[in-house]
Amino acid sequence: MLTQTLPLARPFLGLTLTIAALAAGISTAQADFKLSDRYTDNDGDLIADIPENEAQQRDPDTLVFAYTPVEDPAVYKDVWAGFLEHMEDVTGKKVQFFPVQSNAAQIEAMRAGRLHVAGFNTGSNPLAVACAGFRPFAMMAADDGSFGYEMEIITYPGSGIDEVEDIKGHTLTHTSETSNSGYKAPTALLASEFGMKPGEDYEVEFSGKHDNSVLGVANHDYEVATVANSVKNRMIDRDVIDADQLEVIYQSDTFPTTGYGVAHDLKPELQEAIKEAFFSFDWEDSALAEEFGKNGESQFIPITFKKEWSVIRQIDDANGVKYQCS
C-alpha cells in the first residue's frame, strides 16, 4: 500500500508560496527526500537506480504507457496514438495505451510492474519516484524551451465568491491529495498568503480529477475549485465548456507540468530507446501538437527530478506531506 498523508491544519510559519522563494537554495525537502527501501540511489540524483543485477532488469515484449488521468482517457488514447506508433518503431516493441482512472491507480500499476512508461502529473511525481521507482526524464515545452502551467482558483459568475477571501465559510473543491495544483499548492498558499486553513476557515471536498472540477464549477455543482489552467484551457478549446461559464479569482506562478519517464528496472538499453522515442518525435501535424499546442507546447525537453521538481518537493515539505510506501 502507498499513501501520502498531509495534515489539514499544520502551521505554515509565515511561508510565502512563490516559485522564486521556494526554489532558492537546497531545501530540507530535497535533503530529506527518500526513496522506498526497495530502491537504491547511489548517485544521489533522487531517483531509483537501474538494478545492477541483469537478472532483475526487465525487457517486456509489450510496453504499457499511461498518461496522467486528468481528463477523459478515451480522448487521450487517440491523442497519443501517433506517438506510441513512433515509440514502437524506435524500440522495436509493441506499445499499449493504458487508460488509468486515478493517480493512485497509475502509481500502483508502475510499482507492481504493470506499467513501463508514463506521464505522471506534477504533484504525483514525488510519490511515483519514491514509491514506484519512476525515473522521469522529459517534459513538454514550447519552441523556446519554456514550460509549465498555473494553478487557478475558479468559480462561476454570480456565485458570490469574487475574491479569495470570500472562500471563507464555503466549500473549496480540490482534485486529489496527490495533485499539486489541485490540492498541495493552494492549501499552502491559502494558509501562508491569506491566513486561511482547511477545516477552520473553509471546508474541503475532492472531485477526483481536474476535468471533474472544471465541469462541476461550470455547471454550478461546485462553488469554487482549484485546477490546473492547462486542463481548463484545453477543455475550453474543445468546446467542453464555454469560457464565460467560469471566473478566475486567483492565478499562481508557473509550475512544472507532467513529467514523462520509465520504470526503473527496464533494461538500460531499452530505457535509452524510450528516451530516444520522446526526443526524436516529430510534432509537426501530429495529434499531440493539435491537442497540447493549445497550451503552447511543441516538443519534449530533457528534465531531472532533482532540479525541475525541487519546488514541488518544497511545497510538499511546507504542507507536511509524508510518503508511506509499504
Give Cα 249 to chain centroid, integer Å. Answer: 22
108 vs 33, more confident? 108
pLDDT in tens, 147-157: 988 999 999 99
55 & 37 share domain: yes
pLDDT at 319: 76
CB 50 within 8 Å of CB 57: yes
248 & 194 share domain: yes
Q: Of 8-17, 65-74, 165-174, 205-214, which gets the smallest average pLDDT? A: 8-17
Of 255, 271, 296, the domain-final residue: 255
CA 293 – CA 85 distance, rounded (Å): 20
Mean pLDDT within 177-203: 92
Instruction: Give the domain range for residue 52.
Output: 2-146+256-325
Of 203, 230, 255, the domain-final residue: 255
pLDDT at 291: 92
37 & 85 share domain: yes
Of 239, 255, 271, the domain-final residue: 255
180 & 131 share domain: no
136 & 250 share domain: no
For all residues of the chain together, what is the average pLDDT? 88
42 & 187 share domain: no
* 76 pLDDT higher than 70: yes
* 224 pLDDT higher than 60: yes
- Confidence at 49, pLDDT banded by 50, 70, 90: very high
204: domain CATH number is 3.40.190.10
* 27 pLDDT higher than 60: no
94 & 118 share domain: yes
